[in-house]
Amino acid sequence: DAGITQSPRHKVTETGTPVTLRCHQTENHRYMYWYRQDPGHGLRLIHYSYGVKDTDKGEVSDGYSVSRSKTEDFLLTLESATSSQTSVYFCAVGAGGNEQFFGPGTRLTVL
């Protein structure tokens, strides 16, 4: 499972509140990614990181921010959660090749 954990695994929150999801890896992979998965859309990239403090936007980055202060941790923040951000969020890591390895996911419900 590439040593990836995500926390929390489930969260219910209210519209307008900030939410932070954490991805932790144990294998020192350089690249880390945040995706969301929704029916009919598949996996879509939110943000990614190519090193400590180096991040960039993906396909669906509006309303999300990320931070990576340590190699092992990649945080995704929803600054003010909306119902459209109800989704399953996956973290992935990559060593520098083209393959990516996924974490177990976080189910987020925004009421």
Partner 1 sequence: QKEVEQDPGPLSVPEGAIVSLNCTYSNSAFQYFMWYRQYSRKGPELLMYTYSSGNKEDGRFTAQVDKSSKYISLFIRDSQPSDSATYLCAMTFGGGGNKLTFGTGTQLKVEL
- Positions touching partner 1 (CB under 8 A) are 1, 4, 30-31, 33, 40-45, 48, 50, 58, 90, 94, 96-105
Place of tokens 């520098």: 96
Q: How far is the CB of 109 from partner 1 (least distance, A)?
A: 14
Minimum Å distance from CB 4 to partner 1?
Answer: 8
> Quick one: DSSP state of residue 84?
G
For partner 1, give the closer residue by CB, 24 or 31.
Answer: 31
The alpha carbon torsion through 33, 5, 28, 47 (nearest 10 deg) reads: 10
Q: Is the distance from CB of 93 to CB of 6 less than 8 angstroms? A: no
Q: Which is nearer to partner 1, 87 or 100 (CB)?
A: 100
Q: How far is the CB of 69 from partner 1 (least distance, A)?
A: 19
Nearer to partner 1, 18 or 104 (CB): 104
Query: Between residues 8 and 104, which has the closer beta carbon with respect to partner 1?
Result: 104
Answer yes or no: are the C-beta atoms of 14 and 75 closer than 8 Å.
Answer: no
- Per DSSP, the three-state class of 61 is coil
| Closest listed residue to residue 23, CA positions, set 55, 42, 40 | 55
CB of 25 to partner 1, least distance (A): 13
